[in-house]
Structure 1
Amino acid sequence: MNVQLPEKLYYSIGEVAQAFHVNTSLIRFWEKEFDSISPKKNKKGDRFFTPKDIENLKIIYYLVKEKGYTLEGAKVVLQTQKNLPKKVEIISRLELVKEELLKLKELLDD
């Protein structure tokens, strides 16, 4: 769940979908299912996601795609576990550390 996005105020739905390696339709579907995702829309209807929306998407992605929760199960977990954002952030950081360590191991093996 290593999401690489540049520091910006708003992200297009295409950028978000590409960062999460999912279709834009899934992002739109999650937007309808979860109240915590509320992108801004321009007059044309284009969605623009804030960094807070991205954080919420990371949590939903973690629950649904990595942990295998159903959407209803993910909603329950989001309501009951208040420390979940910190947990997801720590897991994300640990994954980055793991990647770096594996790169170093490859260099040392060569």
Structure 2
Amino acid sequence: MSPADSRVLTAELPAIPRKRYFAIGEVSELCDVKPHVLRYWEQEFPQLKPVKRRGNRRYYQQDDVMMVRRIRSLLYEQGFTIGGARQRLKEMARGGAVNDAMIATPALPASANRRSEEIKELRDELESLLRLFPE
């Protein structure tokens, strides 16, 4: 993956407008996923079920858009396979309400948590030193 590709993955997605229904093109833009990928994910993830109307047109609701973002995060940002993402979503649904924080923060080993805490302490110490020496 090139550096440009990684910037695309980490870019923030736009806010979801307060609407009842979204066309597939709108969901594609809101979630940064191509329409053909959304149609494929509908087959692979039973949780993703947009309403189909006349002419087989798909209309996604708020929950569907959030589910697409969860799936995108699992696949593109956290590196899950389709099967792994499907299993993870099942586990999270069994555990109660699905929380975006649960998806955005993968479980870290204890050593990584320790390092993360040490980095936070160092950052806090550096910030306090910077306050001692105003510009």
* Aligned residue-pair number: 91
Q: Which runs of 4+ in 1 moved over 6 A?
A: none
- The alpha carbon displacement at 1:64 in A equals 0.5
Question: Once the two structures are aligned, what percentage of the paired residues are identical?
Answer: 29
Q: Which sections of structure 1, spanning at least 5 residues, go unmatched? A: 92-110
Larger RCO (CA within 8 A; separation ≥ 6): 1
TM-score of the two chains, using structure 1 as the length reference: 0.73
Change in Cα spacing, 1:86 to 1:7, as seen in structure 2 (3 Å) is same
Contact 2:22 2:59 in 1 (8 A): yes
The reply on whether 1:47 has 2:58 as its aligned counterpart is yes
- The alpha carbon displacement at 1:45 in A equals 1.0
Q: Tell me, what secondary structure is at the counterpart of 1:7?
A: coil
Offset from partner CA, 1:33-90 (integer Å, 9 cap, x none): 1011110111111100011111211111110011010000001111123367314489
Change in Cα spacing, 1:13 to 1:89, as seen in structure 2 (3 Å) is farther
Offset from partner CA, 1:6-52 (integer Å, 9 cap, x none): 11000000000011222100010011110111101111111000111
> Following the alignment from structure 2 to structure 1, what is the Cα–Cα distance between the partners of residues 103 and 67?
15
5 Å-filtered alignment, 1:10-29, equals 10-29=21-40
In our comparison, the structure showing a higher alpha carbon Rg is 2
> Following the alignment from structure 1 to structure 2, what is the Cα–Cα distance between the partners of residues 78 and 90?
9
